[in-house]
Structures are given as structure tokens and as C-alpha cells.
Chain A
Amino acid sequence: MKNLQERMEGLDALIATRLSGATVGFQPIPGEVPVIQVVIGGREELPIFVTASKTQILCVCYLWTDAEVIPERRAELMEVLLELNPTIPLSSFGRINERYMLFGALSREARAEDLANEIATLSDNALDALDALATYLA
């Protein structure tokens, strides 16, 4: 099984193609499990984090923290996220440790093209979601 770093080789060009030539940079994040940060030109504030376990490749884009949600609109936001989840192509909303995220998971056997597509789609979706849901944020 290829490691994450090997899997990401040459992927920047594939992602850039899908994002009309935006610059794409990779940066490994130190830690116990492999994580690579993908920074897309023009969207530096919304990096994508790619991590791999034995069973899957997970791509995550952090959206906002619990503290940023307008308290009175929190319950409504939860409902909206649940309802949106099945309709968004390839990406789903989630939350870990008070951080809301949009994420997509792939099999470890996924092709490079699929991974590039996943990352590009996630970036588009994240920006779109943030724009659409900013009304719930302080």
C-alpha cells in the first residue's frame, strides 16, 4: 500500500486543472498519523487536510468553530446541515472537537484522479457552504 506522501505525488497538477489553474501547494503536518495540508491559491484561508488510515483516505476542510455559531440559530443550523448532507456532491458536514467541517472519504484504493477530484470538489463545496451558511455565524 502506497503511503500518503507517495499518493499525493503529481496530484497538485491534477487538482490545479480542476480548479482552472489555481496554484496548489502541499505541506505535511507533523504528528502521529500522516496528514498533508493542501493550500489552494486564492483560498488560503480554507486549506484541505488529507489524512489516511488503513481503510480510507479522508479529506477535511474546517469551516468554523462552535464559538462562532450564533447561539439562537444553532439548532436551526444543525437541522440545515443534516438536510444539506445528502444533497451535496461528494462532501458531508461533520464536527470534531467543536470544529465544524466539510469532509469526503475515499477508499485507500481510489485512483489519483478520484482523489484530485475529491479535493477540488471539497474546496469548491467548502467555499460555497461557508458563503451560504455565514448567516448562522457571528
Chain B
Amino acid sequence: MGVIGKLLSLVRGSARELGESIVDANGVRIYEQEIHDAKTAIAQAKVDLTGVVAKEMQSAREIEQARAEIARLEGLAVEALEKEKNALAEEVAAKIAEREVELEKQTQLHAEYAVQANRLKELIKASEAKIREHERAVQMTRTAESVYKATQSIADNIGTSGSRLVSARESLERIKKRHEDLNDRIVAAEVLDRELGDHTLEAKLAEAGIGEDSARKEKILARIRARRAAPTA
């Protein structure tokens, strides 16, 4: 975010300097370095995360085992008490105590791994968001620079080739005039075609009573008259 704001201050500042300094002025190289760093950080965080998640799974398994062992030992202790083997029951109780210490340690470790995993996941998410943001900044800035450079080339080209020394108004008038000329030529061609083309010749011939068309009307009339005079039965 905030890229348009930076572009705005550049546009408002000195338009002349834009072409040369836009990438530097927007710290594009810094952004690009940060993108690179963030990508490296993500790669490392993913490796770390894999390790932490593996340890988390391992501690979960050990917790499971410790609990099962404690349950088994408690069963044995009950049996020993039932058979009034108190000394044995005490020995088992000591074993249970050991197992409980182990269970507590594993439970604590497991919780720590979970916290670590979450922290790494958040770090990855934040880094990815940062990359997206920076990439947008870099893209916009690079695009802005490319546009300014293109305009510069065009301006230089217009300057040297002199292709646009006339004003916009003049350009418009020239285009319009050319368009009108073209229209005039089309109309003129049609007029000429009418005057000089076959069209006129045919009309003149017909007028002079020469050719097929000239007598057509008369022939038709004669045909109709003939039909009227001798209606078919």
C-alpha cells in the first residue's frame, strides 16, 4: 500500500526528474531486497516448522504411551493391594511417579511445540503478505517508470522527426479536410460515373429510341391493348 501516494508526490514534485529517478525514489531496489529476504525467511520458517511439527507429533505419541503405561501400572498396583502385597504396590507406585514426571515433561514440551508452530505459521503468513505488498509496489513503480521512459522516447522522437509540429487544432482540421476530400472524391466519382458512364449512354440511346429498352413501354401497351380487344372466351 501507499505506492500511489508516493507516485503522487513524485508527479506533484518535478515531472522532469520522474523518468530518471522514479525507481530509486521509490526505493524499488530496497523493496526487491526485502522481497528476497522475506522469501528466504519463509523458506527457513517452513523448514523450522516441519521440524517443530514432527517434534509435536513425537511428544504427542510419548504422552499417549506414558498415559497407557500409567494406566497399566495403576492396574497392577490395584492388584497388588488386593493381594495385600503392599511392598510391591509401593514399588509400582514409585514407577508410576516416575512416569508421571515424564508425562508432565512431555505435556509441557508438547504445549511449547504447539506455540512454536503457531508462531512460525504466523511468521510465514506475515512474510507472504509483505511479499505481496512489496511486489505490488515494485510492479507499480516499474510500470510508472516504463511509462515515463516510453513518453520520453516518444517526445524525443517527435522532437527530432518533427512529426508533430502542428497544433492539435491544425491536426484535427487536416484530418477533417482529408476526410472531406475523400468524401468529395467519392461523390465526384459517382457524378462522373452518372455523366460519363454506361448509365448515361444507355439513357441517351433510349431517349433517341435506340436499343431494347426504348420500345419496351410501347410494346407492353400494345400487348395489353390487344388482350382487351380480344378477350379470351
Chain A residues near B (Cβ < 8 Å): 29-35, 37, 42-43, 45-47, 49, 51-56, 58, 60, 62-65, 68, 96-99, 127, 130-131, 134, 137-138
Contact = CB atoms under 8 A, between A and B. Distances in A.
Contacts of B149: 31-33
A53 B151 contact: no
Interface string B148-184: 1111111111000001101111111011101100100
B58 interface: no
Nearest to B148: A96
A97 B15 CA distance: 6
B155 A99 contact: yes
A130 B142 contact: no
Interface string B1-26: 00000000000000110100000000
A131 B139 contact: no
A97 B149 CA distance: 11
Counting chain B residues whose Cβ lies within 8 A of the other chain, the interface size class is: 20 to 34
B172 A130 contact: yes
A127 B152 contact: no
B20 to A, nearest CB: 11
Dominant SS among interface residues on chain A = mixed
A43 B164 CA distance: 12
A55 B172 CA distance: 33
Contacts of A31: 149-150, 152-154, 156-157
Contacts of A63: 168
Nearest to B176: A131
A126 B28 CA distance: 34
A51 B154 CA distance: 10
B31 to A, nearest CB: 14
A54 B143 contact: yes
A137 B65 CA distance: 88
Interface string B32-73: 000000000000000000000000000000000000000000
